[in-house]
Amino acid sequence: MTLVKSKPNGNGNLFPRLINDFFDNDFFNYGLADLNKNFLRNGQSLVPSVNISENNKDFTIELAAPGLEKNDFKIEVDNGLLNVSAEKKNEEKEEKENYCRREFSYQSFSRSFVIPDNSVPDKIDAHYQDGILKLTLPKKEVTLTSPKKEIKVS
């Protein structure tokens, strides 16, 4: 199984890298890092940690995505790619006599994986429990031995 890699800002422009380096320091990301330590900074997006394992029957992909719900995920198979994304929006509003407080939060990610040739994409199974999204990709049954065939000499 191959992970599809994204390109960081490698277009050679120094100015965007300077701006990103400035705003990516701990001062600006302090609250974000404390809220969710399972997400890593990858360019401009947050990406969950992933474990991929294989056994004789299937491939297993586990994504660490705490704080989300089952209906936040979107999982698609397209042209040999397994695309996993999630989006969650939250808004809190408190109105009192002297003030109005509104807080917004937005969390999203997207990851893509190349589906192995020996898997069955139509039978991918997904479960989300305790902050872990577990995807199971069953393998095709391969018979290593062919049935015995007798050939007559003419």
Domain edges within the chain: 2-138
CA–CA gap between residue 12 and residue 40 (Å, rounded): 23
pLDDT of residue 124: 93
CATH value of 2-138 in 2.60.40.790, 3.10.180.10, 3.40.630.10, 3.90.180.10? 2.60.40.790
pLDDT of residue 44: 40
Whose CA is closest to 86, among 105, 69, 73, 75? Answer: 73
pLDDT of residue 135: 95
What is the number of helices (H) and of strands (E) in the chain? 2, 10
pLDDT of residue 33: 44
CA–CA gap between residue 124 and residue 58 (Å, rounded): 10
pLDDT of residue 141: 81
Long-range contacts of range 31-38, CB-CB < 8 Å, 24 or more positions apart? 36/66, 36/67, 36/107, 38/64, 38/65, 38/66, 38/131
Residues of the chain with pLDDT below 70 are: 1-46, 143-144
